[in-house]
Amino acid sequence: MAQKATHRQTDSSSAVPVVLFGVDDNGKPKAARFTDKHANLATKAAGHLKLHVLLIVGPVVVDLAGRVPSGRIHANGRGFVPYIRRDLYAKLVAAAGSSPQEDHASSQAAAASGSTKPSSSNGQGDPPRNWDEIAPGHVVIALDEPGEGWYETIVVETSGDMLTLRWRDYPRERRITRHRLTVGLLYPHGLPATDPDSRSPKSQSAKPKSLAKPASAEPATAFPKTWDDIDINCLVLAKEDGPWRSWWEAIPTDKSDHMFLLRWRDFPQVPAITRPRWALGLLHPNGR
């Protein structure tokens, strides 16, 4: 979730404040400035949202940035990058070295092609059924850095129990190496076809009708071996709703059939979420 994310830096340079700017599908300009603390995270989000990134360096850009509203790193949509006046937008485009017409055309083309979402055709394969079956081409979830969330990765090669992985949605970033027991597993069978709501966003947001009393915040020690084993007070991975789509460790506190109410293990102040069991990831008990 955006409240938690402090995303990894993608280069060796020191972070500097940035302005994100672009136009929506209707050509309406928007922009927001972000401090150096949130610059890397905002830049990563810009890639998903097809926004331009302008480093706040030099007196001209510093002056322009002072007229741009502050972005809310914890928000989505308009709260994340608000709308701005067209004259201010034109000055941002000029400072970035392009024209408003070119920017509008490129944004409209991206929207028309559906490329505003991370590509799902980056050579990814199917999730493995268990940790022993992990092989090249499989999709698994790997921890980036402590405190920075988990992300989908593609297994490039294996050497014994060591896996070489590439980030599925960030193929240009450096590859990483992880032990097979330290990665998380995605549901391997697709969404259940027997559930009419299984493909609806409503299935991940509707509050379950409680069949049990909410669990107390006691330590979660159970690691389910299969998705059928997921129960209250076990430890699983759940994907946030924010634009960065990170996975975080979560604990089911209530359930109703296939639906679970979960709290974020390391972020108790963040509101609970609801997910179906097949939208959760599994952790290996010996992978800590």
Comparing 87-91, 97-101, 119-123, 277-281, which segment has the lowest mean pLDDT? 119-123
**How far apart are alpha carbons 251 and 227 in whole angstroms?**
14
Separation in Å, CA 91 to CA 30, 53, 86, 177, 216: 12, 14, 9, 44, 54
What are the residue boundaries of the structural domains of the chain, listed by start?
Answer: 18-113, 131-182, 201-279
Arithmetic mean of pLDDT, 129-152: 90
Say if residue 172's pLDDT is above 80: no
**How far apart are alpha carbons 130 and 235 in whole angstroms?**
17
pLDDT band at 124 (very low <50, low <70, confident <90, very high): very low
Q: pLDDT (tens digit, 9 = 90+) per residue, 214-270?
A: 444 445 568 999 999 999 999 999 998 765 678 999 999 999 988 999 999 988 888
The predicted structure's pLDDT at residue 158: 94
Arithmetic mean of pLDDT, 193-204: 37
Q: What is the mean pLDDT of the chain?
A: 75
**Adjacent-strand bridge partners of 213:** none
Using a cut of 0.75, tell me whether the model's pTM lies above it: no
Decide: 184 and 282 in contact? Cβ < 8 Å. yes
The predicted structure's pLDDT at residue 120: 35
For the structural domain made of 131-182, what CATH number should be given?
2.30.30
The predicted structure's pLDDT at residue 3: 41
